[in-house]
Amino acid sequence: MPRDNAMTQRIDMPWTDDGSLEVLTFCMGDETFALEAVLVREILDLLPETAVPGADPLVGSVINFRGRIIPLADLRLAFGMQDDTVTSESRIVVIELFVADEPLLIGLKTDRVNEVATLFERHAEPPPALGMRWPREQVRCLVRQGQDLIVLPDLLSLFSTLAAGSGDQTVH
């Protein structure tokens, strides 16, 4: 694909008609990540975890969330990051995705939750082919906000592989 077409292609994101997207930003290590605010169900202090023998390390434990047992994902593993020490700012962000047309609650470990922010499509770029330390298929886009670079992970890609391993389920 010619360079100018790559720079102008629309990134597969749920941008509004005015080219904006409301997100929740959070940190893992020194990196800032974001996910669509509409996916967020709750932000929790850390809860006791129960390890699940034989589970994929990405979702190697579960938590009790309002009487329901839900998987707890550590995105640091997907992005090859060091497991940082838990601090008083560490949180679990509970999101809802659809697996096999049914809602699935998943907890995401974070080092710190920052804020709900509005990102703009005009500042977004697809992940580059070179110069990234993460697999491209795990990143939907990168968005510049001031001097910061915000990573929007492709949660569908990350969790669909796991869902496919447990049957013919797909995430959407």
Does residue 13 fall inside a structural domain?
no
Q: Which pLDDT score, from 0 to 100, does residue 124 have?
A: 96
Residue 110 is part of a domain; what is its CATH number? 2.40.50.180
Tell me which residue has tokens 């992970």.
153
| Whether the predicted pLDDT of 110 surpasses 80 | yes
Does residue 37 fall inside a structural domain?
yes
Q: Which pLDDT score, from 0 to 100, does residue 8 have?
A: 40
Residue 154's closest CA among 37, 9, 45, 34?
34
Does residue 109 fall inside a structural domain?
yes
Strands (E), the chain: 20-28, 31-36, 40-45, 50-51, 61-65, 68-73, 91-99, 102-110, 112-120, 124-125, 139-145, 148-153
Q: Which pLDDT score, from 0 to 100, does residue 2 have?
A: 39
Confidence (pTM):
0.85
- The whole-chain average pLDDT of the chain stands at 85
Does residue 8 fall inside a structural domain?
no
State the Cα–Cα distance between residues 171 and 121, nearest whole angstrom.
24
Q: Which pLDDT score, from 0 to 100, does residue 10 have?
A: 46
State the Cα–Cα distance between residues 29 and 2, nearest whole angstrom.
35
| Whether the predicted pLDDT of 133 surpasses 80 | no
Does residue 7 fall inside a structural domain?
no
pLDDT band at residue 7 under the 50/70/90 scheme = very low
Number of domains the chain is built from = 1
Mean pLDDT confidence for 121-138: 83
Q: Which pLDDT score, from 0 to 100, does residue 70 have?
A: 97
Q: Which pLDDT score, from 0 to 100, does residue 100 have?
A: 63
User: Diameter of the chain by CA atoms?
Assistant: 52
Q: Which residues contact 26 (CB under 8 A, 6 or more apart)?
A: 32, 33, 34, 35, 91, 93, 108, 110, 111, 112, 113, 114
Strand, helix or coil at 171?
A: strand
Does residue 155 fall inside a structural domain?
yes
Q: Which pLDDT score, from 0 to 100, does residue 18 have?
A: 96
Top pLDDT among 95 and 78 is at 95
Does residue 46 fall inside a structural domain?
yes
- Per-residue pLDDT tens for 54-78? 999 999 999 999 999 999 999 998 8
Q: What percent of the chain has pLDDT over 90?
A: 57
Domain span holding position 123: 21-165
- Per-residue pLDDT tens for 22-65? 999 999 988 999 999 999 999 999 999 999 999 999 999 999 99
| Conformational region of residue 166, where left means phi above 0, alpha means psi within -120 to 50, and beta covers everything else | alpha
